[in-house]
């Protein structure tokens, strides 16, 4: 791992010294055949897809976990938990296929444009990570001592107040960890995103139009750009940025683990 990181750092420094820091990190266009190596489109794409996935997936996943663990019991609860586990195991290429068949036409119908884009990618991976986040959230909800909830009810709080003021508050570290785990999966996801994102390495505010993320950029340019070239070094810089992003998330996960 250290060797890989070292190699990526060397390639990145080589690119930055040759092309410049601003054109690489703040450049709006990635066109290696025209000498433009801006990586902002990929960073922007990853951020947009990550935020969209958070916004869409967290309410759905937490609601699913609450219903499965606190609102229903018996066979229905067991069926919901089994469904979570089963959906976690679905390969991302199948989610991408689903996104291609349903999300892309829906985005085209609602927002116009070709349908392929950052919005389609964000919604597809959001639905993809819902079972993962829900399963982890359910675990943390089940870990909340029943005595806390009983005490809340004994004080006259109704079920909703108990859920919000006691259960979710007590489970917050676990829920946050679940969300960060889901976000890490979103940032690292390649196949499902690549199938619906449109693959256009341009940073723009119209997020319904084709874009690219760091992972899809790596996937599509790794074989097309030789390692010794400036383009190849730009690919290494993408990989380093991705490592830094996921490393930052992992650090927060560890901190949460210690706190809880």
Partner 1 sequence: MPMRVRVQRPRRPGPSPRYRDAWGSRGAGAAVLLGLALVIGAPTGTGARPAGIRVMGATSLVPFLIATASRWHVAHPTSPEVHVAAGGSLAGIYQLERGTVDAAASDIPPSAVLGRAAAGWGALVLGRLPVVLVVHPGVGVTRVSRQNLAGLLTGRVRSWQELGGAAENVVVVTRGLGSGSLWVMQHQVLGGTPLTDRAVVQWSNGAVLKTVAATPGAIGFVDSGFVRRSVVVLGLGGAMYQPRDPARWPLFATAGLYWRQRGTPALTAFVQFAARQPDRTRFGIVGEEATPHEERSPRARGAPVGRDGRPRGLDGWPDGLAGGGHS
Residues engaged in binding partner 1 (CB under 8 A): 29, 31-37, 105, 108, 112-116, 194, 198-200, 202, 209-210, 220-221, 223-232
Nearer residue to partner 1 within complex by CB, 48 or 225:
225
Nearer residue to partner 1 within complex by CB, 50 or 198:
198
Minimum CB distance to partner 1, residue 81 (Å): 29
Distance between CA atoms of residues 203 and 238, nearest Å: 15
Nearer residue to partner 1 within complex by CB, 50 or 232:
232
Q: And the tokens for 178?
A: 């679940």
Minimum CB distance to partner 1, residue 232 (Å): 8
Nearer residue to partner 1 within complex by CB, 114 or 173:
114
Minimum CB distance to partner 1, residue 108 (Å): 7
3-state SS string for the chain: CHHHHHHHHHHHHHHHHHHCHHHHHCCCEEEHHHCEECCHHHHHHHHHHHHHHHHHHHHHHHHHHHHHHHHCCHHHHHHHHHHHHHHHCCCHHHHHHHHHHHHHHHHHHHHCCCCCCHHHHHHHHHHHHHHHHHHHHHHHHHCCCHHHHHHHHHCCCCHHHHHHHHHHHHCHHHHHHHHHHHHHHHHHCCHHHHHHCECCCECCCCCCCCECCHHHHHHHHCCCCCCCCHHHHHHHHHHHHHHHHHHHHHHHHHHHHHHC
The neighbouring-strand residues paired with 31 are 36
Minimum CB distance to partner 1, residue 123 (Å): 17
Minimum CB distance to partner 1, residue 245 (Å): 23
Nearer residue to partner 1 within complex by CB, 87 or 98:
98
Q: How far is CA 56 from CA 47, 103, 182, in A?
A: 14, 13, 12
Nearer residue to partner 1 within complex by CB, 182 or 198:
198
Residues 6+ apart with CB under 8 A from 65: 134, 135, 137, 138, 141
Minimum CB distance to partner 1, residue 218 (Å): 13
Nearer residue to partner 1 within complex by CB, 101 or 244:
101
Minimum CB distance to partner 1, residue 31 (Å): 6
């Amino acid at each position: 791992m250290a060797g890989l990181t070292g190699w990526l750092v060397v390639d990145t420094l080589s690119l930055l010294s040759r092309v410049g820091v601003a054109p690489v990190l703040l450049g709006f266009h990635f066109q290696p055949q025209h000498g433009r190596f801006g990586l902002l489109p990929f960073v922007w794409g990853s951020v947009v897809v990550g935020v969209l996935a958070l916004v869409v997936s967290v309410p759905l996943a937490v609601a699913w976990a609450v219903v499965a663990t606190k609102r229903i019991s018996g066979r229905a609860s067991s069926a919901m938990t089994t469904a979570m586990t089963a959906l976690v195991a679905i390969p991302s290429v199948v989610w991408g296929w689903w996104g291609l068949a349903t999300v892309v036409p829906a985005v085209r119908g609602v927002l116009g444009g070709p349908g392929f884009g950052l919005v389609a990618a964000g919604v597809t991976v959001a639905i993809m990570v819902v079972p993962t986040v829900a399963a982890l959230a359910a675990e943390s909800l089940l870990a909340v001592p029943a005595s806390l909830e009983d005490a809340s009810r004994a004080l006259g709080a109704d079920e909703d107040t108990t859920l919000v003021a006691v259960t979710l508050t007590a489970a917050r570290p676990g829920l946050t960890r679940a969300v960060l785990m889901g976000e890490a999966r979103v940032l690292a996801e390649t196949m499902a995103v690549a199938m619906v994102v449109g693959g256009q390495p341009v940073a723009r505010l119209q997020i319904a139009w084709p874009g690219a993320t760091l992972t899809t950029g790596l996937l599509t340019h790794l074989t097309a750009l030789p390692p010794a070239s400036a383009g190849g070094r730009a690919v290494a810089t993408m990989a380093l940025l991705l490592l830094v992003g996921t490393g930052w998330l992992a650090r927060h996960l560890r901190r949460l683990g210690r706190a809880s």
